[in-house]
Amino acid sequence: MDALQIHGGRPIEGVTRVSGAKNAALPILAASLLSPGTHRFRNVPRLSDVATMCNLLAQMGCTAKRRGGAVAIQVPPQVKPEAPYALVKTMRASVVVLGPLLARYGWARVSLPGGCAIGARPIDQHLKALEALGANIELSGGYVTARAKRLRGARIHFDMVTVTGTENALMAAVLAEGTTQLENAACEPEVVDLATMLIGMGARIHGIGTPIITIEGVPALGLADHSVIADRIEAGTLLAAAAITGGDVFVEGAPTAHLEAVLGKLHEAGCRIATSERGIHLKGPSRLRAVEVHTQEHPGFPTDMQAQLMAILATARGTSLVTENIFENRFMHVAELGRLGAQISVSGQTATVRGVLSLQGAPVMATDLRASASLVLAGLAAKGQTTVSRVYHLDRGYERLEHKLAKLGASVRRVHK
């Protein structure tokens, strides 16, 4: 298994570029199941999760071809509407094939994703939405089998905001008979990007980006030809790297409009930030100031930036409070940050981060995607060498992060263990 070897203590400086958004690309690729033919996508990040989604589609009978940042998905008139456990267990987001398969083929058998490091992450809301649209749902042997002759429009109120739950419901409703209204729908930019692409395929959707989305079902859809939005979480992670190292970085293509809450916190912590339609420029202070942060659904502070913010607050002046409101177990990075000398205590859903003057490099282990990013950030600031093992977690959601950081002057290299 690969590891990243980091020699910290250097400010990172220069220009880097954000890649396409993982959490937009995954449902967007799955949406190609909604109509036969060749769908074309651009700005698709090179990530193991994207490769897993392409592999899943290939197992169903589709053909996925990549040329640079472009991916073409050829969908035959009939596919094998199944997502096996062997694949779903490696990427829970595979569950987003459920909605499109059911809408297009009237039948789908998808492995239950099971829990993961950050929480139980059930899919009850996904199933509630599909049942409301007329699907017959059967759970057995760790699989969901969903059947429906023709889905019918319905009014669906989500008990809590769910990103992929909203996406599954959206992709099922676009081919349903009649009108569907989603209430308490997710407003994340990645959901907006999916909906925008579906409209490009001929779907009739109103209210995207708001908690009330209305979908008028159509008999069939055309083909996708879409460029994936920039990854706000990767952009936030790169900006956090400049913040913790007292660096000076311009992130080209960073989506300012999707990062307001993150930029607000980085500014509050003492960073100087300039935004333009070309990207975001951040200069880190010699030492960050402590802040208080609560993760929330978009447009609030994103849970996917919580671990990264906690890492950079480890050396801030003062005591910070980090409250995780979305997932029940998203503090796996705390123990590993402690190995680098961070002073963090957890009580319930709140972590108290007492800023220390400096961190010391040590071997640490990644436990999940964003935790691995937080350990890299801490390693960039720590004195001496930090080795982050199990970076396969990182490769799920960051395209060549070590290359991007090395180009900005960081001493980081991948070692094969």
Binding residues for ligand EPZ, per CB under 6 A? 22-23, 26, 93, 119, 121-126, 160, 162-165, 190, 303-304, 326-327, 369-370, 397
C-beta of 301: minimal distance to ligand EPZ in Å? Answer: 11
C-beta of 287: minimal distance to ligand EPZ in Å? Answer: 28
Cβ nearer to ligand EPZ, comparing 22 with 281:
22
C-beta of 165: minimal distance to ligand EPZ in Å? Answer: 5
Amino acid, single-letter form, for residue 361: G
Cβ nearer to ligand EPZ, comparing 76 with 115:
115
C-beta of 219: minimal distance to ligand EPZ in Å? Answer: 29
Query: Hey, which residues does 281 pair with through a beta bridge?
Result: 250, 274
Cα–Cα nearest to 87, from 61, 66, 60 = 60
Contacts of 393 (CB under 8 A, 6+ apart): 366, 367, 368, 369, 371, 372
C-beta of 272: minimal distance to ligand EPZ in Å? Answer: 28
Cβ nearer to ligand EPZ, comparing 117 with 362:
117
Instruction: Tell me, yes or no, if 54 is annotated catalytic.
Output: no
Cβ nearer to ligand EPZ, comparing 81 with 302:
302
Please state, in angstroms and rounded to a whole number, the distance separating the CA atoms of residues 203 and 188.
19
Is residue 196 within 8 A of residue 12, CB to CB? The reply is no
What residues are labeled active site? 116
